[in-house]
Chain A
Amino acid sequence: MSSQANQSTPTQPVDLAGSLIGLAKGQPSALANPLLEQVRARALTSSGAANALKERWKYTPAKRYFQAMYDHQQGKSAQSQPAIELADLPTGCTWQALDNDNHSATLELLGDDNLWQRYPLADVISQSSNAGYCLEINESQSDTLTLKLQPGLGFLIIRLGANVSATVSIEYAQGSDFAGHWIASALAAGAQLNQALLINSAADSTNRWLLNQVDLEANSQFNGHVHAFAESSQRLETHLRLQGQGAQANLTSASITAKGSSFDHQVVMEHQAANCQSQQRIHNIADGGSKNSFNGRIHILPGAHGTNAQLQNRNLAIAAGAEINTKPELEIYNDDVSCSHGATIGQLDEQALFYLRSRGVPPAQARDLLLRAFIAQCYGGVLAEQAQAAADRLLNGALRR
C-alpha cells in the first residue's frame, strides 16, 4: 500500500542519483571515482533497484551532497577533529575513537545485514576509519549527554547496556559547512534512549546530512525528537529497527523550511519482532520558495505479530510557491497488526483564523499564533525550549511578513 500527496511546483531532475544509476548503465559521470563505483554497486544491490535509490534522493540536491562527501572523504576539504564532540564524559560511560582495527569490528556489531549499504553516507563513512567514535553507556544517566556535530564526516555508535536509560542531545556546531554524520544507537534489552536533535542551520551554511539509526532489542524504548529549522539544505535519514519483542519507538519531528531552503526527512520504521509499538507525529511548515519533504515508510515484517504502528503527518504551506512532498508508505507482511498512517497538506485553518480575528487579534498575529501552535505540537525532549527559541527566530525573521 502506498499513497502520495503532492503539492508542488515542478521539481528539477536530480542528477546524482541519476548519475549513480547512469554509472550502473555504464554511462560516464563527472563524479566517477573508484569509491563512487563501489558505493554505487552496493547501493544498487542492497536496495535491489535503481528506482528505489532514485526515489530516496528525489528531493535532495544529490550532486552537491555527494560531491561534498567525496571531497571530505578524500581529504580535499578540511575535516574537523574530532568530528563529533561529547561535552562531558560522565561516570558509567566510555568514549573511544575508532582506529583501523576496531572500526570494522564495531561495524560488524551493527548487524550482519549491512544496513548501511542502503545509505551512501554510511557506506562511505564505513570506509573512512579516522572519523569514528564509540560511546558506551553502561549505567543509567540522570544528566543529559550533549553531543556536538562538527563539519566534515563523522561516525558515532552509541551502545546502551541492558536496562540502562540515558538522554542524549545532538546539535550542530555553529556555522559549519558540509556536515555528514552517521549516528547508530544500539539499545540492549530494557534500555531507554531519549534523543533530542536540533538541526538549526543558518542561511550561510551549506548542506547537512545525518543518518540517525536506532536498533532496539527486547522491551527497549526510544523517544526521539527532531527539530529542523532550515535556512539552507538539510537531509535527515532516520532508520529505526525494532528487533526485539516488546520494543517501543516514539518519534516526533517539527520542521520549518524558510525561503531558499530545503529539508528532506526520510524515515524507515522497521518492525522486525512481535508486539512492538511505534508512534510518529511529524509536523512540517514550508514557506514560499522552499521545499519540505517527508517520506515515512513503515515496514512490518513477517513474524512481527501484534504490531501497533501509528504515523501522523501534517504539513502546512504558508505561502504561494511552497513545495511540500509527502509520501507515506506501508509494507505489511502480516495480518495481525494495527496500523494507521496518514498525511495531510493544507493551509492554516480558516475557521481558527476567523475566530482569533473576531476576538480582535489582527491577521498577521493570528496567523503567527496558529503557526507556532502547529509546530509546537511536535517539540519534545530536552531541546524543546531551544527548539522553540530557534523556531521563533525563524518565525519572527525570515517568515514574518
Chain B
Amino acid sequence: MSALLNVEDLHVNVAEGKILKGLTLAINPGEVHAIMGPNGSGKSTLANLLAGRPGYQVQSGSVTFAGINLLELEPEERAHAGLFLAFQYPVEIPGVSNMEFLKASVDHTAAANDQEPLSTVDFMRRTKQVAADLDLDPEFLKRGVNEGFSGGEKKRNEILQMLLLAPKLAVLDETDSGLDIDALQTVAKGVNSFRSADNGVLMITHYQRLLDYIVPDVIHVLADGQIIRSGGAELALELEEKGYGWLTDQPA
C-alpha cells in the first residue's frame, strides 16, 4: 500500500530560524494520526508548509502526497489534489459571504478535477445540511467569511469546509481548541463521518480529550522540529500523566 502522505527527513526554515529539523512521517489511506507537542515545537509550521503558505523555506527532504511532489504545487493546486488544512487561526474576510466563498471553493476544486459542478440549488441544500449537522445556524452562511464568528464558530466553519470539499487528507490544526464540550462532540462526529478507507486525517492537538472522541491509529510527539516518539493511544495517556519533559529530558 502506498502512503497518502510521505514526509521524509524534512528541514524547514522560517525567517532564518530552523524550525523543522529532520521530520519524517507517513500516513496511509484510512489512517488517523495525531501530533502532540510543546508550544513552538513546529506543529503549525508543518501544517502550513503542507498547505503551501508562503514564507517557509524547505532546506532538504521531501513531501509526497498521493504520489506527487507536493512541494512543487501552488496552494490552490494542493487543495485541488485533495489536501485540506483546518487553520489554527482562520482569517476573517469581511464582505465576502461565506456561501459565495464556499461555492467558489467547491466549484474551482470540481473544475480542476474535471467534475461537473453542483447546481446552485443542490449546493445550497448540501451546505445547509452540513451546517445543520455541525449545529451552525444557516445565518452563518450569509455572513462574511468568519466575520465576527466566535472562536468555536470559526472552527466549526473550518470543518464545514472540510466536509464540503471531501479532501483526501485533512490536517486539523488545533481544531479542538476553543470548543466547548458539546461543540467538541459535534466536530468529532463530523470528522468521524468523514473518515473512510480512502482518506486520512492528521490532527494536531494539545488535549488527550479530543482523542477520546476521534480515536487515532498513531500518535506522534513533535519536539524541537522532530518526531521524537510515535505510538498508539496509550502514548497520549502517558503524556497526560507525565508531561513532555518525560520525553524531551531524555538524552537523545
Contacts and interface: CB of A to CB of B under 8 A. Distances in A.
B91 A351 contact: yes
A358 B78 CA distance: 7
B30 interface: no
A373 B144 contact: yes
Given A369-B104, A373-B144, A360 B53 contact: no
B76 interface: yes
Given A355-B87, A360-B109, A361-B104, A373 B76 contact: no
A361 B106 CA distance: 9
B54 interface: yes
A320 interface: no
A105 B87 CA distance: 66
B94 A373 contact: yes
Contact of A355 (B78, B90, B100): B90
B42 to A, nearest CB: 19
A377 B144 CA distance: 11
A359 B161 contact: yes
A316 to B, nearest CB: 12
A36 to B, nearest CB: 45
B80 interface: yes
Interface centre among B94, B112, B161 (most CB of A within 10 A): B94
A357 B104 contact: no
A62 B82 CA distance: 56
Interface string A360-378: 1111010001101110110
Contacts of B104: 356, 361, 365, 369
A252 B108 CA distance: 34
Contacts of A369: 96, 100-101, 104
Contacts of B100: 369
Nearest to A362: B76
A356 B52 CA distance: 12
Interface of B: 51-54, 74-76, 78-80, 85, 87, 90-91, 93-96, 100-101, 104-106, 108-109, 112, 144-145, 161, 165
Interface centre among B75, B94, B106 (most CB of A within 10 A): B75
B101 A359 contact: yes
B108 A373 contact: no
A355 B93 contact: yes
Nearest to B97: A373
Contacts of B101: 356, 359, 361, 369
B73 to A, nearest CB: 11
Given A351-B91, A357-B52, A377-B94, 20 more contacts: A350-B54, A352-B93, A354-B53, A354-B75, A356-B101, A356-B104, A357-B74, A358-B52, A358-B78, A359-B76, A359-B79, A359-B109, A360-B79, A360-B80, A361-B76, A361-B105, A369-B96, A369-B101, A369-B104, A370-B93
30 contacts: A351-B91, A352-B91, A355-B91, A355-B93, A355-B145, A356-B93, A356-B104, A357-B75, A358-B75, A359-B101, A359-B105, A359-B161, A359-B165, A360-B79, A360-B80, A360-B106, A360-B109, A360-B112, A361-B76, A361-B104, A361-B105, A369-B104, A370-B96, A372-B95, A373-B93, A373-B96, A373-B144, A374-B95, A376-B95, A377-B95
A40 to B, nearest CB: 45
Nearest to B87: A355
Contact of B165 (A360, A370, A372): A360
A360 B105 contact: yes
Interface centre among B54, B78, B96, B145 (most CB of A within 10 A): B96
Contacts of A377: 94-95
Contacts of A362: 76, 108
B155 to A, nearest CB: 14
A138 B171 CA distance: 64
Nearest to A373: B95
Contacts of A351: 91
Contacts of A354: 53-54, 75
B79 A357 contact: yes
B94 to A, nearest CB: 7
B85 A358 contact: yes
A369 B54 CA distance: 20
Contacts of B91: 349, 351-352, 355
